[in-house]
Homo-oligomer: A and B are copies of this chain.
Amino acid sequence: MTDPLPQGSTIGILGGGQLGRMLSVAASRLGYRCHIFEPGAAPAGDVAHSVTTAPYEDAAALRAFAATVDVITYEFENVPTSALDLLESLKPIRPNRRALAISQDRIPEKTFLNDLGLATAPWRAVNSEADLQAATEALGLPAILKTTRLGYDGKGQVKLATTADISSAWAAMDGAPSVLEGFIAFDREVSVIAARGLDGSVAAYDPGENVHRDGILRTTTVPARLSPGQGSDAVLLAARILNALDYVGVMGVELFVTPEGLLVNEIAPRVHNSGHWTQAGCAVDQFEQHIRAVAGLPLGDGGRYADVVMENLIGDDVARVPDLLKARDAQLHLYGKGAPRPGRKMGHVNHVRRP
């Protein structure tokens, strides 16, 4: 085991978007500094001790970054392997590489989950139009074809309604390794934001109920409409994943609630958009919980003391900011990103329901 990171230590964060931004703020509350590594624009830099702007291929910049930090974490799972190999030789990376490797590719992810005894949507690997043809026969239609890597916010996904869609769907993948997922008639989508400390302890926030539109999360509502049994199933299932990976940090586990039980949709080895509500309803939010874990501190009390609806502000939704500033019980979080673009997450609002 490792001692807790002393106050005044520096945490390196790979990625400088809104998640890095909110992680840096949480780290400051615990007396830590953050150093952001980000190839592009870094809104996290506005609230970080230092920022390195360099590509992940710049070994000298990665070495200089590692020299200034005590531990490294990340705000997104698609950091190139070469950068991780170099960084891992210099400083601890938390969550660990296995969690990253699994979540970077849908096929190892689903294999890992199924091997753990957890249900997912039925799936088949697809590397050719012939594979896709065979997969549609095995799983039936409708179904969803997804690239195995780099998909997020609905990108790299095509729905197949009938066999007439097979050719165009495969063409849309542009030759990328893909996976076909069978259709799931789910009642609702929920997610569990769970954390595991360096000491192996596990904590989870109350599950949130998610609504997606065009593949992008729109709202998360707590409490989720789950029976007590479903709620504890969801949390136990998340704990099983974290323990199996010897995980350290916060993970987002997306689940489908079906009449037959809970299916795992996907896992994200990081703080998660569906956990933003914790900023308004808990003494310790998901960002602080993640920092506590990677710093080797005890996990905090994530008990909930308010009902919350978290609403993402996407693209032109920022035009609503003047109204939201006046709204009752609305906690606004803007990301400092400049001009809105369609599909771009510009901020979020936590609508607090006083008990």
In the complex, per-residue mask of A29-49: 1 if CB is within 8 Å of any chain B CB, else 0:
111111000000000011111
**Of A70-78, A101-109, A255-263, A321-329, the one with at least 4 CB within 8 A of chain B:** A321-329
A303 touches B325 (CB 8 A): no
Copy count, this protein chain:
2
Please encode chain A, from 291 to 307, with 1 for each CB lying within 8 Å of some chain B CB and 0 for all others.
01000011011010110
Q: What string of 1s and 0s marks CB contacts (under 8 Å) between A17-38 and chain B?
A: 0000100110011111110000
- Whether B355 contacts A305 by the Cβ 8 Å rule is yes
Q: How far is the CB of A263 from chain B (nearest CB, A)?
A: 33
When the two chains form their complex, are residues B303 and A306 in contact, meaning their CB atoms are under 8 A apart? Answer: no
Min CB distance A296 to B, Å, is 11
In contact, B283 and A350 (Cβ under 8 angstroms) = yes
A334-355 to B contact mask, C-beta < 8 Å, 1/0: 1110100000000100101011
Asked whether, in the complex, the Cβ of B8 is within 8 Å of the Cβ of A338, the reply is yes
Find out whether the CB atom of B283 lies under 8 angstroms from the CB atom of A329.
Answer: yes
Cα A48 to Cα B322 in complex, Å, equals: 24
Q: Are B336 and A283 in contact (CB under 8 A)?
A: no
A31 and B306 in contact, given A25-B25, A325-B297, A330-B301 (Cβ under 8 angstroms): no
Given A49-B46, A303-B329, are A31 and B280 also a contact pair (CB < 8 Å)?
no
Select A305's contact among B28, B292, B306, B327, beta carbons within 8 Å. Answer: B306
A333 contacts the other chain (CB 8 A): yes
Shortest Cβ distance from A213 into chain B, in angstroms? 24
A305 — which chain B residues lie within 8 A by C-beta?
A: 305-306, 329, 352, 354-355
Complex CA–CA separation, A81 to B34 (angstroms): 35
Interface status of A237 (Cβ within 8 A of chain B): no
Which B residues lie within 8 Å of A321 (CB)?
A: 7
Among A283, A322, A329, A355, the one with the most B-chain Cβ atoms within 10 Å of its Cβ is: A283
**In the complex, how many angstroms separate the beta carbon of A318 from the nearest chain B beta carbon?**
8
Kindly state the separation between the CA atoms of A257 and B298 in the bound complex, as whole angstroms.
Answer: 41
A-B contact pairs, 8 of them (CB 8 A): A28-B46, A29-B332, A33-B336, A46-B48, A280-B283, A292-B325, A298-B326, A305-B329
